[in-house]
Structure 1
């Protein structure tokens, strides 16, 4: 009998399509026939999950586990059949999934982001002008010369 004892990501990488849960020593262990086996990264070392479908993509990946000198290999397809494994995996990755409403709003966010950049740049210019006025009022030539560079 095989069960997951501990599953913690070493770190998580995301790109446009996938969440990659990267593993390292001491972050993933299983119990096989009442013996603890620690993950060792000699074969696969990550779970790759599609951010839109939430499906584990690299099911053919082989993971190595060691107990003393004994090394056991389990495919991700086998690990997925274990109680609570898939639940633990999705609880780790769930905050990185793309929901339908987020996908529909991506264009809006990009346009809003561009408008925000323009507004911020304009506010910064206005602030520099105010600081220049203040430097002129105080007859601070050094501050004036520094601020002119920003226009």
Structure 2
């Protein structure tokens, strides 16, 4: 049976789409067969999570762990089956996820902004029609009326 003893990021990089949790010596350890194995960056050294879906992207990654001279490899897929790993991973990356509520609020604000802009553009066209009438500019009047 495998359990996660400790999972701390060495550092975290976040870009537009992903959160990358970088791992290093002494920051990640597991317990397997009552022995503690320390992470060693031989193969994979990061956990890549999609910020929108909150899913780990690099499930094929293999992590190496060492106890004295014995090295074991554990895949990301195997680690994701461990409830304590998933829980610790979520707590580390949670602040980097996109919040659905924020996305809904942002879309609502963008909608309201677009409506206000449309109203302002229409009011501006009406003012320009008034000016064309005052100046008796029939061509400009006809073009502006088409825009409404």
Per the normalisation by structure 1, the TM-score is: 0.68
Report the 3-state secondary structure (helix = DSSP H, G, I; strand = E; otherwise coil) of the residue aligned with 1:66: strand
- Structure 2: state its 5+ residue gaps: 111-148
Runs of 4+ in structure 1 off by over 2 angstroms are 100-106
Q: Does 1:90 align with 2:90?
A: yes
Residue by residue over 1:9-42, the C-alpha shift from the partner in whole angstroms, topping out at 9 and shown as x without a partner, is: 0000000000010000000000010000000001
Within-5 A mapping of 1:6-85: 6-85=6-85
Higher alpha-carbon Rg:
2
RMSD: 1.8
Report the 3-state secondary structure (helix = DSSP H, G, I; strand = E; otherwise coil) of the residue aligned with 1:87: helix
Measured after TM superposition, the shift of residue 45 of structure 1 is 0.4
- Structure 1: state its 5+ residue gaps: 110-151
Question: How many equivalent residue pairs?
Answer: 109
Q: Distance in 2 between matches of 1:71 and 1:98?
A: 37
Report the 3-state secondary structure (helix = DSSP H, G, I; strand = E; otherwise coil) of the residue aligned with 2:89: helix
Residue by residue over 1:86-138, the C-alpha shift from the partner in whole angstroms, topping out at 9 and shown as x without a partner, is: 011011000000112434528x69xxxxxxxxxxxxxxxxxxxxxxxxxxxxx
Q: Distance in 2 between matches of 1:62 and 1:100?
A: 31
Report the 3-state secondary structure (helix = DSSP H, G, I; strand = E; otherwise coil) of the residue aligned with 1:90: helix
Per the normalisation by structure 2, the TM-score is: 0.69
- Choose 25-34 or 96-105, whichever is displaced more: 96-105
Residue by residue over 1:50-105, the C-alpha shift from the partner in whole angstroms, topping out at 9 and shown as x without a partner, is: 10010111111000000111100000000011131101101100000011243452
